Chain A
Amino acid sequence: MTEAVIAASGTSAYWYLTRATGTVALLLLTASIVLGVVDVRRWSSRRWPRFVIDTLHRNAALLAMVFISLHILTSVLDSFAPISLADAIVPFGGSYRPFWLGLGALSFDLLIAIVVTSLLRARIGVGTWRAVHWLVYASWPIALLHSLGTGSDVSHTWQLAISVACIAAVLIAVLARVLDHAAATPAARNAALGGAGAFSLFLALWLPSGPLGSDWARRSGTPTSLLPHAHSPHAGAKR
């Protein structure tokens, strides 16, 4: 009986779990990037030696992958939104907010490439590994956009606070990376700063009229049958 009520109102345990694991994954990914920059900038102290930072960076990334996998699993198992397993890997093919969900799949694909190359680093060599690793600077913003586009709690204060904190952390990390004069050419540094600036500007302009604006659920591609105004006591249980 309780299940029917829960199903009828469109929320199940899986739905909560998918949102929770998604948020945690974003936090872990953010932490991994921040630690990665700390690592490459070679910061260390007596209590935080380089190998600890390095291991934390790797473990944060691997843990993020675990949470993303749970996020995918729970979103597939949840009966509210029609998301299949394939949608998690093949971007933009789904029927639930296809574009914004697809971004998640895209981000996940990039992360798989990064993690696999990292695990096989000894075999593929430092050059190839490094080249693929740069993709994390694409993977993270895509994951963020996915969370802002598909997330159903974006406008809630706590979720907004988390998103803003993650954005701020990554922007600071990118700045710290860019300021590493020994590592990059001025052209690369300017490109990075330009990219970060452009992305921030985009978010500032888009958020208010996008996910934080009215009727985002419909505008982002939620199937009509699931939209609140079309909602009937039994609608949520149907596919």
Chain B
Amino acid sequence: MSRRVRVNPIACEAHGMCAELLPERITLDEWGYPIVDGEPVSGEELAHAKRAAQACPTFALLLERQG
């Protein structure tokens, strides 16, 4: 089962933990906000993505179902 990683830009406060925990998919822009590639995440990466979503202090990182 695959999911897409998405940021709620309103909730995001640029803590940056998501980029530390899922560097394969998330990089930070020069102001500290996440740039997410919208490709589906599955398998082992999904576990890291879930952890990244849980670590976000404002729950701004979301895992959405494909499509």
Give yes or no for direct A-B contact (beta carbon below 8 Å): yes
A residues contacting B by CB (< 8 A) are 42, 44, 49-51, 54, 122, 126
Residues in chain A near residue B66, CB distance under 8 A: none
Instruction: Please tell me if the beta carbons of A42 and B20 are within 8 angstroms of each other in the complex.
Output: no
Closest to B55 in A: A51
Consensus secondary structure, chain B interface: loop
Instruction: Please tell me if the beta carbons of B21 and A51 are within 8 angstroms of each other in the complex.
Output: yes
Report the interface size for chain B: residues with CB under 8 A from the other chain: 11
Instruction: Please tell me if the beta carbons of A122 and B17 are within 8 angstroms of each other in the complex.
Output: no
Residues in chain A near residue B57, CB distance under 8 A: 54, 126
- Quick one: which of B17, B58, B59 contacts A54, CB cutoff 8 A? B17
Instruction: Please tell me if the beta carbons of A50 and B59 are within 8 angstroms of each other in the complex.
Output: no
Q: Give the interface centre of B11, B20, B54 by most chain A CB atoms within 10 Å.
A: B20
User: Is B65 engaged at the interface, CB distance under 8 Å to the other chain?
Assistant: no
Number of A-B contacts (CB under 8 A): 22
Instruction: Please tell me if the beta carbons of B59 and A126 are within 8 angstroms of each other in the complex.
Output: yes
Residues in chain A near residue B17, CB distance under 8 A: 49-51, 54
Residues in chain B near residue A42, CB distance under 8 A: 15-16
Residues in chain B near residue A54, CB distance under 8 A: 17, 55, 57
Residues in chain B near residue A122, CB distance under 8 A: 54, 59
Query: What's the Cα separation between A50 and B16 when bound, in Å?
Result: 7
The 4 closest A-B pairs by CB, nearest first: A49-B20, A51-B17, A50-B17, A51-B20
Instruction: Please tell me if the beta carbons of B20 and A50 are within 8 angstroms of each other in the complex.
Output: yes
CB proximity of A44 to chain B, nearest CB, Å: 8
Return the CB mask of B15-44 against A: 1 if under 8 Å, else 0: 111001100000000000000000000000
In addition to A49-B17, A122-B54, 5 A-B residue pairs with Cβ atoms within 8 Å of each other are A42-B15, A49-B20, A50-B15, A54-B57, A126-B59
Query: What's the Cα separation between A42 and B15 when bound, in Å?
Result: 7
Query: What's the Cα separation between A51 and B16 when bound, in Å?
Result: 9
Query: What's the Cα separation between A51 and B22 when bound, in Å?
Result: 11
Query: What's the Cα separation between A54 and B20 when bound, in Å?
Result: 12
Query: What's the Cα separation between A49 and B55 when bound, in Å?
Result: 13
